[in-house]
Structure 1
Amino acid sequence: MMMKFFCAFAVVTVAAAGPSLAAGKCSSAPKDKWQPRSALESQLQADGYSVRQIKVEGGCYEVYATDKAGKRANMAFNAETLQKLDNAEAGEN
């Protein structure tokens, strides 16, 4: 009985934390702590993207690019950590 409770508790805990961890958020650090745009652009080019524009939106870098197949991509990254965020318009909120 105790093992079932522990397993159920673990599943609920992971399920509740999952979306908040996966979504990420924009940086609240001062701009002097942010990574340079050029570092993000180099990272994306190494991944096969052709960067058209990088904008700053509320602590995030919003990237407009095309992938190897020529498909447009709109992505958002935390400006301090360069962590990719699930919501492409994360900084616009």
Structure 2
Amino acid sequence: MISLRFAKASALVAAAAAIALSAPLHADGDIVCKAGPQSGWQKIAKLKKKVWLEEWTLLKMQVEGDCYEVYARTKEGQAIEAFFHPVTLEKLVVFRRGQEIYRAEGFTG
């Protein structure tokens, strides 16, 4: 009886792991902006205006890999994570609760 429960639990754990591993990852390290050397980047402070124009409340901005990463709240109060190209300040990808909700046309990074 115990070994049958263990086998069922093991099967469930294995199935959950397989699903999790097959799903696309949305971690910070997955976004690549191909921005070139930092000497060509715009100052991160210039990004504040873009965030304001999006009608977001800025929580935090930082460099992540070769992108600018923004943590903010939308005007509806939803927490988001967004990535911007540091040379053009173009919005590239936006995530909410781990789900991608925006991707710039043609961006594959």
TM-score by length of 2: 0.53
Structure 1, unmatched stretches of 5+, are 1-23
The corresponding residue for 2:60 is 53
SS for the counterpart of 1:80 is coil
More helix by share: 1
How many percent identity over aligned positions? 32
| C-alpha separation in 1, matches of 2:87 and 2:78 | 27
8 Å contact kept, 1:75–1:85: yes
How many Å apart are 1:76 and its aligned residue?
0.5
How many Å apart are 1:26 and its aligned residue?
0.9
Where relative contact order (Cα < 8 A, 6+ residues apart) is larger, the structure is: 1
| C-alpha separation in 2, matches of 1:87 and 1:75 | 4
- 1:82 is the counterpart of 2:96: no
Structure 2, unmatched stretches of 5+, are 1-30, 96-108
How many Å apart are 1:86 and its aligned residue?
2.8
User: RMSD across aligned C-alpha pairs, in angstroms?
Assistant: 2.2
- State the number of aligned residues: 66
Equivalent AA in structure 2 for residue 86 of structure 1: V
TM-score by length of 1: 0.61
8 Å contact kept, 1:53–1:65: yes
